């Protein structure tokens, strides 16, 4: 695992002042561009939960989708998208959550998760924890059991893990 962490850290590109001055953005697109490294990351995600009986991979809009797809094959689970409000075509359950400046809402289809389903939540980044916490709430409203949340990168200094009421694992910590 130490090699994987080192390889991913070396691939992530720091972009200063994006999306606004004073923000240091950790760009994961070089990880996505390297097929071998991307597969290793997805395998790490899957290995952490392989023996947990995962039935649904809940992937967050939008970069969570990139990791959710490969996990379907790795874990034999179905993919469930969680999207920004108004983007899903069928009946949904929605939750609003606070952002640093304002609020946002995400949705899931009402029939995406059955009571008792074992769920893994996946996204690229855990920052303030608002989106991940809202997703855990949506899954539980539908009766799902959140086995865990997995992220490529976690910004420890923002304290997002404390907001997520579920076990969480992250490969890279800043």
Question: Catalytic site residues?
Answer: 63, 100
Q: What are phi and psi of 19, to 5 degrees?
A: -85, 0
Go through the chain and tell me how many residues it has: 174
Question: Would you give the DSSP letter of residue 33?
Answer: H
Q: How many other CB atoms are found less than 10 A from the CB of residue 29?
A: 13
3 state DSSP class of 18: coil
Question: Which residue, among 140, 134, 132, has the nearest Cα to 169 in the 3D structure?
Answer: 132
Crossing angle of the two packed helices 35-47 and 63-75, in degrees rounded to 10: 60
């Amino acid at each position: 695992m130490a090699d994987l962490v080192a390889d991913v850290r070396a691939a992530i590109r720091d972009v200063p002042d994006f999306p606004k001055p004073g923000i240091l953005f950790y760009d994961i697109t070089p990880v996505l561009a390297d097929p071998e490294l991307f597969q290793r990351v997805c395998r790490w995600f899957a290995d952490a939960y392989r023996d947990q009986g995962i039935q649904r991979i809940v992937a967050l809009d939008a970069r969570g989708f990139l990791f959710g797809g490969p996990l379907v094959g790795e874990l034999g689970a179905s993919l469930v998208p969680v999207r920004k409000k108004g983007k899903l075509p069928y009946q949904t359950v929605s939750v609003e959550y606070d952002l640093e400046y304002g609020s946002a809402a995400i949705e899931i289809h009402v029939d995406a998760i059955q009571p008792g389903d074992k769920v893994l939540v996946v996204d690229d980044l855990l920052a303030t924890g608002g989106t991940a916490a809202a997703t855990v709430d949506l899954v539980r409203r539908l009766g799902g059991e959140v086995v865990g949340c997995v992220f490529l990168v976690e910004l420890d200094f923002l304290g997002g893990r404390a907001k997520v009421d579920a076990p969480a694992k992250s490969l890279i910590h800043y």
